[in-house]
Amino acid sequence: MKKKHLRACYRFHIVYPLWMVFVNRAAVLITLAILALALTVCLSEKNLLNTMKNPRSYDQSKNAHSFNAVMRPFVNRDGMAWAGKCEVVRTDTMETLATCSPNYQLVQHSEVLERAEAALKGLGLKKWKRDVTVFDNGGEMRAKYRLSNGKAKTDVAVGDSLGFVLELDNGLNGRSTLLAKGGIEALVCSNGMTGMRAATTAFDRKHNGLLSLDVFKKSITELLTAYCKDVADLKKLTKMEFNHADGLNMIDHLIAEVLKTSKNDSIELVGLYNDPDSGLHQAHRGQKIHGEAGGQRNAWHVYSACTAFLRNVENERGAFDIVRTKRKALANVFGGIATGKRELKPLLIPRADSVLDII
């Protein structure tokens, strides 16, 4: 009996620890597997975020902006009104676009467009192409007036014409205020660019509600003046020449430091630089307007490749917000180069961890 007890104790003291080691190892392996899975998910989400942020809902149909919105006291689900709180409601769908204070001054999208067009006509600018994009079921509007005639049109290089773009923002949901900015469009390719120098107008100062016709006219005039100065700076970029390989180094820097594009997007951008005609409208191809692969290139060619890429992202993916941010960042870089505030030479030096090596 004593021997059986000793055998049982032996089995317990030897087998049990071995069993616990096995169980503990299994637990550790399971834990490591879970952590590995979680890390994989995190990295996947990070990669997705790095490629492109999900665009908001938008509508570019002809009458997307043609509705009225009103303010009314905010009422909760129980039918109780909240003191000092209102809501902005579309009158056609009765959809609530935002909540706000009673002091908020509502500006209809259609009012902004009507006043802008009256101001343009008053300045003798009677021909334009208007594009309107409405976001978040009408909560925000962005309008572009592309002027490519008369004093709003000029050349940055032989055969490479630019046009002035008036950009207007308006919000009914608090996300955007009434704002006017100047932009640039290359007519041979429809590449959009943000103005490179800051032009402070009445729209940039604190205001509440719709601005007067005179303010619109004065602000547009100031934006046109800034546009002409921007074009003079862009012409300087055409004089900053280098070989084709140096231009690829510059694009490498811009990918890593400014654009932060994914592998596929980087391939597209490099392709637009290597085949300059691919970014142009069909009628302008074969004229070496943006140079040719292997030949002498300049800083304007690199800028054009970058803006062509962003044009494609905006048109094909509807990623308006991220494109606007990247255009501004590029304008700061090339504006700095053109005015001498930033050196070009460091951007032509190959990077040690070149993105080009992996695409």
In the chain, which stretches have pLDDT less than 70?
1-54, 151, 158
C-alpha distance from residue 292 to each of 151, 161, 356 (Å): 30, 18, 19
Q: What one-character-per-residue DSSP string does 253-316 give?
A: HHIIIII---HHHHHHHHHHHHSGGGGS-GGGTTS-TT--TTS-EEHHHHHHHHHHHHHHHHHH
List the one residue out of 294, 304, 306, 233 whose CA is nearest residue 268.
306
Residue 82, classed as helix, strand or coil, is strand
Backbone angles phi, psi at 291, to 5 degrees: 80, -170
What is the model's pLDDT at position 350?
96
Q: What one-character-per-residue DSSP string does 135-162 give?
A: EGGGTEEEEEEEE-SGGGEEEEETTEEE
What is the model's pLDDT at position 5?
45
Cβ neighbours of residue 265 closer than 8 Å, sequence gap 6 or more: 51, 52, 259, 309, 313
Neighbours of 144 (CB within 10 A): 17
Neighbours of 255 (CB within 10 A): 23
241-288 confidence digits (pLDDT tens): 999 999 999 999 999 999 999 999 999 999 999 999 999 999 999 999
Report yes or no: 249 and 349 within 8 Å, Cβ to Cβ: yes
Beta bridge partners of 182: 166
What is the model's pLDDT at position 50?
41
31-43 confidence digits (pLDDT tens): 555 555 544 444 4
Token pair of 93 as six digits: 């769908």
**Longest Cα–Cα distance in the chain:** 115
pTM for this predicted structure: 0.82
Cβ neighbours of residue 331 closer than 8 Å, sequence gap 6 or more: 193, 194, 195, 196
Dihedral angle computed from the Cα positions of residues 217, 224, 251 and 261, in that order, rounded to the nearest 10 degrees = 10
Beta bridge partners of 145: 130, 166
Report yes or no: 348 and 249 within 8 Å, Cβ to Cβ: yes
- Gap between the Cα atoms of 270 and 220, Å rounded: 36
Beta bridge partners of 89: 70, 96
Boundaries of every domain in the chain: 107-230, 241-358
Per DSSP, 317 falls in state H
